[in-house]
Structure 1
């Protein structure tokens, strides 16, 4: 297993260019307005750290970006306000470090070159007019087209706009959810305390996990000081208090394994085998003391529902 080669992407984001450029990210729903799977949105999860992104808005190439972290599940940014009111409230957020281009070139002015380089499927632009295709958001493009973009725009200039800090973003999301729990009059003080403690893998949630598992399910480490109570479906993604406190939504892991799992760099098959993100190299895997044959030391059959969510939403392809 080895890390995949860097890819090139093109984003059409006329409606949200300012917010995404200034915020240092891309954001999309997970499905279209009809609830159907959309390849342009699925591409948010396919983009890897180090990939290049061409920003296109108002008929012009506005910036070049570099993906700095994998996409995470996140609510629609408040800065969007009424933009995309028909979009779902939860989607993919992809941190990107943007740099403005020297010349905001119009691709339609280079139609002959453009036609030869556009992808045949899921193209961001029309090969007839050079205008943006309706409904296209994030499209994979060839290195050939990316190099043409660099020629048309004379490269990049100006101050780099830093990408958003996903750790801070997740903290903010969880802080808001904690506030909502504190304000929920339908909950008793005991219930509120249990839910807040579960956020950090503490309290009733941790105790229930230790009673069930007693050791890290991968390494076998038993010292409680070296174990973390990790949510399978992240705390921020849970929609009910039951999911946040359910011990079946948890795994006991050592800090290093927990980090891999929380970041979506590994997941588990229902049968217990570790599933690795393509972003990990063989060297990375071995350095963590893992191998392709490493598997859970306990049965994960009772955690199928939560693990299915983790593989679909958290695991980085």
Structure 2
């Protein structure tokens, strides 16, 4: 499976209505560009992140391999390109809450490839249509989507479920792997589209929010103690680098408004006023139980909490 990002600012409405992507083969002087020719790389079930007006607004799934196709009639009125081109029919899965790239640009620039990447060093979208997305950056996008777009997450879980035996193998890797080859990495990444193996493994240990005890799995988030973008491959898969949290406590923990000391006692930022604490159900008497490995990861989070 490959991942891409498409900038559809000029043709979004037409392509969204027609449920396709299309790029010309050449311009009117006979020139072509990688951000057009890369359309030929798209295969059935590949994932394309859809950018419009500076935001990730949809996740597209290729319904078939890319094929040669004349410019669709829906694009004729734009009169922007030559007639011959490449077309991919796709399913558009719209996000409930579009993601603004600039809010995450520091991590995006670290995780994208150096060549044919969607964003330049200044954090602006590169001029062009289709760009390649690294597996690490795709994972990061899915991590954000998982936290903010529950309906889309459920849709992907249905459409992209993977065999139970693969999930079982992934769970074994989460507990015991020290190194991962490229095939294992790709399997892990694919699993994050729907079946969250990391969350599944955490649920095997404890089926409730670590802080407040909520047990409804629909509202439990698999939160990394040491963030995904700053972890090694092993740390990203280590079940000890995770806590199951409800949305309120995940938001506080993710943004370092709370952390936990060596005994598991909650640490709360002074900037949180009493009303916010009440509404988010957090108070200084709360305490969690951690094993030795979790305590090591929590030290990283605590240091960041104290220094931020």
TM-score, normalised by the number of residues in structure 1:
0.45
